[in-house]
Structure 1
Amino acid sequence: MTLARIKSVAGVRIPDTALCEAAVDLLESSSPQFLCTHCLRTYIFGSLAVRSLGRSVKDEEAAFCAALLHDLGLIPPYRRDNRFEIDGADAARDFCTKHHVSPERADLVWRAIALHTSPGIPTRLAGEIALVHLGAGLDFLGLGLDQVPPKVLEEILETYPRMKFKSEFHNLLVEHCQHNPAAQILTWTDDVARTAGCTLHGRPIPTATQIMAAAPWDE
């Protein structure tokens, strides 16, 4: 399946610059198909969500690249020792540098990816950052799905099908947690790690409550 070169979906124009084409190529060459279609849905859903809030996206290239590359940190070639959002942001910034994107724009892509799972922060920042957060949240957790008209949703899913995304993505998260359990502490994926039975030094991933209780301070 080639993701390429659809001009628009649900009234959202798909950027077709050389940089955006390179982002599509990287996504397709590195990621399973269910993740590829998720990343494209993220851009479409995010664009619609930002528009519904009366916000604007000034840098479509940066927003598109951030949406398409926001889960690179879950893919084995890009896994390092950080939470996946940071590993993905670092990989996307390397991509931007390779393609001669200015440091300022590369940093925008980095922040959009690094913060995309941090509720309450991205929507207060640039539209490009809000887009990735809102789009990923809608496609992953269904946040705001009730605001998407049925015909619009049908068009998006026909163009970029889910391909058992819920279960496949969960499996990918579990793999990430097993690869690097320490990075999950005090993040939203610590619950995924504990549920999957991941351990750190032979013990379950600690909760925030447990860490606070064990802190070496008096009351």
Structure 2
Amino acid sequence: MPSSPTFCRHQTIPGPLVQTIASLNRPPITAKPSSFYDVPDTPICLRAVEVIKKEIPDWAANHCFRTYAFGLAIANYAGFDTEQAKLELGFDKELHFLTCALHEWGMGEEGINQSKLSLELWSAIRAREWIIEQQSSTPEGEMRPLQEWADLAAEAIARHTIEFRGFSKTVNIHTALLTLGSGQDLMGLSSAFVHPDDIKLICKKWPRLGYVDGLRALTKEEVRQKPGCLFEGCWGDFDPGMYSVSCFKGLQGSLTKRVSARL
């Protein structure tokens, strides 16, 4: 009989998350080189890039990658990426990337129009399935704790929009960084922890492509089709406020015909 998996127990991060990071009394933020935000050059992360670019609109895929970058910047500012903090909190750059890259999978055609699940839940389920599936294509010398990663990613994805509103007293590191990173990309909620030059750099690396217009159209349809869905509770907090976020002034872009057709 196979033994039960043993999961690492790590410290959690108290909420509200933005206030927690602000209370750390860290040194001033510094600008990073573009390479700091590169996607981890591992087979599983590169496969995630391919699948998410195929499954969701370009403006949504770029949001996923910017979420990763903003989360990475916040982790660095807070000191969550130090070796000691990694041991205490369990931060892993690859897992952080996978969580962010896959977190909007529900914004694809199947998630919006063919499933009654809230897009956060559909994304979480599909991400978990996909990460576990990668076990069969991962070389023995590159083994990862994919079962544990799948669970942690799904947990973060399912909860990230309710954590915007401080739902939980504490969360794990990957839920925290997904919430903070996506909140930064949507509303600039963590701008105090990301250097202004890095905000521009990240938006140049993964352009916004009319992200707010795409999000408005897609989530309006999500709420229309799925009364009581998770996004319904926070929709009014973002729209129209997401159009006037100062740190993204001049960076929003507009939807292309090709992208618009996929809504």
The normalised TM-score by structure 1 is: 0.75
Deviations 1:66-117 (A, max 9, x none): 1011111122223422221111100101111211263221101101111111
In the TM superposition, 1:51-90 aligns within 5 A as: 51-56=76-81, 58-79=91-112, 80-90=115-125
- 3-state secondary structure, aligned to 2:99: helix
Tell me the CA shift for residue 14 of structure 1: 2.0
1:163 and 2:198 equivalent? no
Aligned mate of 1:106, from 150, 154, 174: 150
User: Do 1:63 and 1:129's aligned partners in 2 also have CA atoms closer than 8 Å?
Assistant: no
Query: Partners in 2 of 1:177 and 1:186 — Cα distance?
Result: 6
Q: Which deviates more, 72-81 or 168-177?
A: 72-81
Aligned to 2:189: 143
What value does the CA root-mean-square deviation take over the aligned residues?
2.4
Query: Partners in 1 of 2:186 and 2:106 — Cα distance?
Result: 16
Tell me the CA shift for residue 21 of structure 1: 0.9
Aligned to 1:208: none
Query: Partners in 2 of 1:123 and 1:159 — Cα distance?
Result: 34
Aligned to 1:199: none
Aligned to 1:37: 62
User: Do 1:90 and 1:110's aligned partners in 2 also have CA atoms closer than 8 Å?
Assistant: yes
Distance 1:99 1:160, change over 3 A: same
Deviations 1:142-194 (A, max 9, x none): 102244322212211111111111111111111211222243597324x48xx
Distance 1:10 1:75, change over 3 A: same
Tell me the CA shift for residue 63 of structure 1: 1.2
Q: Percent identity?
A: 28
Bigger relative contact order, structure 1 or 2, given CA contacts below 8 A and separation 6+? 2
Deviations 1:8-66 (A, max 9, x none): 73623421211111110111101111111111100000111122222236322221111
Query: Partners in 2 of 1:171 and 1:180 — Cα distance?
Result: 14
Tell me the CA shift for residue 121 of structure 1: 5.4
- 3-state secondary structure, aligned to 1:143: coil
Query: Partners in 2 of 1:94 and 1:165 — Cα distance?
Result: 27
Distance 1:182 1:58, change over 3 A: closer
In the TM superposition, 1:1-219 aligns within 5 A as: 9=34, 11-56=36-81, 58-79=91-112, 80-100=115-135, 102-119=146-163, 120=166, 124-184=170-230, 187-189=233-235, 191=236
Tell me the CA shift for residue 137 of structure 1: 0.2
Structure 1 portions without partners, runs of 5+: 1-7, 196-219
- 3-state secondary structure, aligned to 1:65: helix
Query: Partners in 2 of 1:43 and 1:85 — Cα distance?
Result: 17
Distance 1:182 1:114, change over 3 A: same
Work out the number of aligned pairs and report it: 185
Query: Partners in 1 of 2:74 and 2:169 — Cα distance?
Result: 11
Structure 2 portions without partners, runs of 5+: 1-32, 82-89, 136-144, 241-263
The normalised TM-score by structure 2 is: 0.63
